[in-house]
Structure 1
Amino acid sequence: MSKLPDPFREGLARGWKATHGEQGLPSQIECDVAIVGTGAGAGITAELLTRAGLDVVLIEEGPLRTSSDFNQKESEAYRTLYQESAARRTLDGAISIMQGRCVGGTTVINWTSSFRTPDSTLRHWQEVYGLRDFTTEAMAPWFEQAERRLNMVPWTIPPNLNNEVLRTGATKLGISSAVIPRNVKGCWNLGSCGLGCPTNAKQSMLVTSIPAALNAGARLFYQTRAHKLDIQNGQVKGLLCVPIRLNGDKVSDQTMRVVAKHYVVAGGAINSPALLRRSDAPDPHGLLGARTFLHPVSFSAGIFDERIEGWQGAPQSLYSDHFVHDAPLQGPIGFKVEAAPLHPGMASILMGGHGQRLMTRFQQYPHTQMMLSLMRDGFHPESVGGKVRMHLDGSAVLDYPLTDYVLDGFRRSLLAMAEIQFAAGAKVVRPFHEQSDDYSTWAAAKAAIAAFDMKPLLTGAGSAHVMGGCGMASTEALGVVRPDGVHWQVDNLSVHDGSVFPTSIGANPQLSIYGMTNLLATQLVKRLNGKDVVLA
């Protein structure tokens, strides 16, 4: 691969204002708006605020890594780009959670799938949470602007075999499938999206909105943790930050106080509610950190005669919403079916087993296809999600019980995926469950899955999508923030990330965050200095 220019490094050479926490922080700085985080919500907000001429400071606890650092190695990417080195799990250890922790946040390591918020989700928010203005028609312009800005278009290159299996099997069963829009430009089709894009083709915040904000004069502090907001009498008076090492340890007892006119929390669900809880933010209705939602994910491996090579090519390019559309919101949990890329480290987990058993399965690795299902959680009375809790050291953990309601969806999704894989020609199917074996017929797999003990830890589960915890609603009795993203009890504090969603989305959430934040940040600019801005 030829060496490409690194626009972020070039910007730093031109004088972008970026400070590494380990190299020392000033004791106090002032600005118009302080933004916690640099992911999807933070990036769009920073770009719009700086375009309006506001003085913006960005606070990021993760490191700065750019295309010059991305080498397609899991061993380095997980350690430097992910929360807890990709080992973040729920309180009981039953669900692994993949989230970004770097400049650009999860947008740097996601798989580029870009869906608008489903109409059914928006209708539910209108009916249950009073979000009357969040109609499909009203949100369309905000999504359109984000799609143009980040080049979100359906993937036109033929899918890799890992994805084609989904379409082939679905077609044979009469199940609908479609092409996924992706936020890429000039993609080399390498397949390492989850490890940082070495060609800057992925239109993440690292190469779009954060550079735009820095070009306009924003200041970036990285490896700098937003520790606590100083909240007094319904106002934030300051933000206390500490320098941290790559592993998250404090560098010293040195602190930096950020004094701003307005504060935007955009650290992502889990981290945003945690910051507000550490700050003793008003929570009169006990909603902060509650109703935090994942898309709990089940997995199924299919072994084929032909080489699948699930590590190469666009990670996700096809999907099926058949099992979402056929699932009423108030009925059994619905799920979206997609493919999962298989790099060796991830494969060592998803293929199951250890020792000799895992070694035998790795001999089938090039022939293995991996399918996943995203559970649409948060719409049923038995679908209450999880709660962000705090360790004694102030760090956060998500308590997310896998209920019988959710696990029923896991069983149905394992059945659906196995049937699709067999229809596509799989010789063996292996559901991701501790009681699973290799099944050579659909009848055998169906009988085995029906008999599985669907319990946490026995049932393999993961998620890369975290939402809620600072839910938005039309009244303070229903939500942490108002429909404009401003905290109900703290007038100069907003939340601009996926934590404002009242439920899960039912689709990969990045475009939902971009579109929602585009609206909220535009409203915030109008409130702060009366200007009208548009996401270019």
Structure 2
Amino acid sequence: MKGSFHPSNALQLEADAVIIGSGAGGASVADVLTAAGLSIIMLEEGQHIPSSSASPIAREAFSAAWRGGGITAAIGRPPITYAEGRCVGGGTEINSAITQRADGDLINEWRKLNKIENFTADELAPYYERAETVVNASLTHGALGRATGILRQGGKALGWKVSELKRGQRGCKGANRCSYVCPNGAKQSMSVTLLPKAVNRGMRLLAQTRVDKIRIEKRRATEVIARSRDAGGQVVPVHVKAGMVFVCAGAIHTPALLRRSGKRERIGNTLRLHPTIKATALFSEPVDAHQSRLPLTAITEFMPDQRIGGSVFTPSVFGLSLAEDWTNRGDLMRDLRFCGSYYGMIRPRGVGSVRWLPGFNEPLVRFKLAPEDWIALSQVLTRLGQAMFAAGARKVFPSIFGHEGWTSPDQVHEFWDKPLPNGATNLMTVHLFSSCPPGEHQDACPVDSYGRVRGVENLFVADGSLIPEAPGVNPQMTIMALAFRVAEAALYRSAQERARSAARDKI
């Protein structure tokens, strides 16, 4: 991609706006601002990974595109492993590209809870439509494989609603490497959609550039201070002055950056995520999940509070999941062809936090599950087990250390009305949000209804941090919709400021 470059010496740059982060939020802001003719500089901590150089080896792919190689955890009991992209395109390069809108009733609840202006399903619909058009949200045609059929079969046998999932794709070849960076450019991530368009309009993109601080003086963000690397890996200072600053570094690193820039009030206090528990299902007939697309149906009967779906399945990823309890489950590697990996996901009532720690590159992330979250996890795991047996599984292994696995549908009710063992349960998530919720409820919201950080005239948040609570669905479309909305509002606000300034000059 043109414009993704390494500086050779210290840079002093100026632009109409600087965007920190190149994922779904940052790319969407760039699309709006470059279309309006503004000069833009985008700073991305990770590297650019073209499809042609995407590695098929899990260790190399995770190291290149995932923060911390995919191993990061929110502290709690138990700790919850979470995943973030760190590359040009951010999380859109490693996610499954599933496109879903937040439930309209939830959007209405958020509007009332946080007093968010002009925030209804109808008012957000044009932004959702724009996001869906960008990524060509569409159903996958042709054979989807047994891994998808298992969810459909199990859900329908139980009389539950099962939904086909649209994805952001063009000509998917079913390589089953969505989490590695798509090798064909078929997944419509930001690096193959909005970012090239913005660069062609003149945006300057600096990859491998970490932002240390935003300087704020007299209620304005005046300068972004960063460190890049030259072609030899040496650190190069980068200073950017811009009329507007958009922080789009994700629900973890956006609040961390704002806090180390001196903005701490209510920022990073309300982290939400989707606690997710997995299960491995063993069948008598081959599933061959490693040779087909990831499961493209989901059991949606219990949404938005609970959802049951399928995970990316490759030999290496399957081995990593078994490593949670290798002593008892390592033998399942020999039955790879007969296994599938599925999950249950909940909308939690618990809340987490993000804190910047001086001297550390990574912030401190905590998350505490509420008592009702444990019951919800028990229920969704029970339902997941029911679906697997209804689809013909002969054994189901929940992601609980030391658990022997269930061999009949009668056994899956083991935890229905009691919490899972918190010392042995392995939880993870790939969805993070809500650390900077918007609204006019000033005691709860660190940014206004349009993403502007309180007390700073030209500093905006535009990423998953803005989603007011856990949405119960894959968040990319909501992130893009809200980022489009923030960017348009910022343009309007900037135009008003220029008009007022011009009027004052005439007096």
TM-score by length of 1: 0.88
2:434 maps to which of 468, 471, 490: 468
Report whether the alignment pairs 1:257 with 2:211.
Answer: no
1:359 alignment partner AA: G
Query: Any conservation in 1 of the 2:42–2:205 contact (CA below 8 Å)?
Result: yes
Correspondence for 2:300 among 321, 329, 340? 321
Q: Structure 2: 5+ residue runs without aligned partners? A: 497-507
* Shift, 1:164, TM fit: 1.3
Deviation at 1:313, TM superposition (A): 2.8
Q: Percent identity?
A: 26
Say yes or no: does 1:103 pair with 2:88: yes
Query: C-alpha distance in 2, partners of 1:194/1:160?
Result: 18
How far 1:485 sits from its partner (Å)? 1.1
- CA change 1:355–1:134 in 2 (3 A) is closer
* Residues 364-384 of structure 1 deviation map (CA, whole Å, 9 limit, x = unaligned): 22111111122112xxxxx24
Alpha-carbon distance in structure 2 between the residues aligned to 1:244 and 1:87: 24
Residue 53 of structure 1: aligned partner: 37
Shift of 1:273: 0.3
Moved over 6 A (4+): none
Aligned to 1:139: 124
Counterpart of 2:338? Answer: 367
Contact 1:59 1:221 in 2 (8 A): yes
1:486–1:492 Cα contact (<8 Å) kept: yes
Residue of structure 1 in register with 2:394 after alignment: 427
Instruction: Map Cα deviations across residues 171-202 of structure 1 (whole Å, 9 max, x no partner).
Output: 00000101011000011111111111111111
Q: Distance in 2 between matches of 1:157 and 1:227?
A: 47
Secondary structure, aligned partner of 1:144: helix
Q: Distance in 2 between matches of 1:178 and 1:290?
A: 34
Instruction: Give the 3-state SS of the residue equivalent to 1:157 in structure 2.
Output: coil
Whole-Å Cα distance in 2 between the matches of residues 355 and 173 of structure 1?
32
Indicate the residue corresponding to 2:26 in structure 1.
42
Q: How many residues align?
A: 493
> Which whole-Å CA distance do the structure 2 matches of 1:509 and 1:305 have between them?
35
Q: Distance in 1 between matches of 2:462 and 2:327?
A: 47
CA distance in 2, matches of 1:79, 1:279: 28
- Name the residue aligned to 2:204: 219
Query: Which aligned pairs between 1:210-289 and structure 2 lie closer than 5 A?
Result: 210-243=195-228, 251-252=234-235, 254-281=236-263, 283=265, 287-289=266-268
Residues of 2 paired with 1:112 and 1:25: CA distance? Answer: 37
The whole-number CA distance in structure 2 between the counterparts of 1:245 and 1:426 is 53
| Cα distance in structure 1, aligned partners of 2:456 and 2:79 | 35
Amino acid at match of 1:17: G
Q: How does 1:54-203 map to 2 (within 5 A)?
A: 54-92=38-76, 94-203=79-188
2:134 touches 2:194 (CA, 8 Å); kept in 1?
A: no
Distance 1:452 1:212, change over 3 A: same
Q: 1:292 aligns with which of 271, 277, 283?
A: 271
> Match of 1:321, as an amino acid?
T
1:409 matched to 2:376: yes
Are positions 1:17 and 2:3 aligned together? yes
User: Equivalents in 2 of 1:368, 1:25: separation in Å?
Assistant: 52
Cα deviation code 1:398-418 (max 9, x no counterpart): 101233222211111110000
Partner of 1:478: 444
In structure 1, distance between residues paired with 2:194 and 2:411: 51
Structure 2: distance between partners of 1:428 and 1:18? 49
In 2: Cα distance, 1:446 partner to 1:488 partner = 48
> Gaps spanning 5+ residues in structure 1: where?
1-7, 9-15, 326-333, 378-382, 531-536
Give the drift of 1:524.
Answer: 2.1
C-alpha distance after superposition, 1:460-493 (max 9, x if no partner): 1100001011111123222111111111211100
Q: Alignment partner of 1:407: what SS?
A: helix
Identify the range of structure 1 (154-163 vs 264-273) with the bigger mean alpha-carbon deviation: 154-163
Deviations 1:66-92 (A, max 9, x none): 112113221111000001111111124
Give the letter aligned to residue 434 of structure 1.
F
- Match of 1:400, SS? strand
- Cα shift at 1:116: 0.8
Map of 1:533 onto structure 2: none
Letter in 2 for 1:458: A
- In structure 2, C-alpha distance between the alignment counterparts of 1:146 and 1:186, rounded to whole Å: 18
CA contact (8 A) 2:294 2:311 kept: yes
State the SS of the aligned residue for 1:527: helix
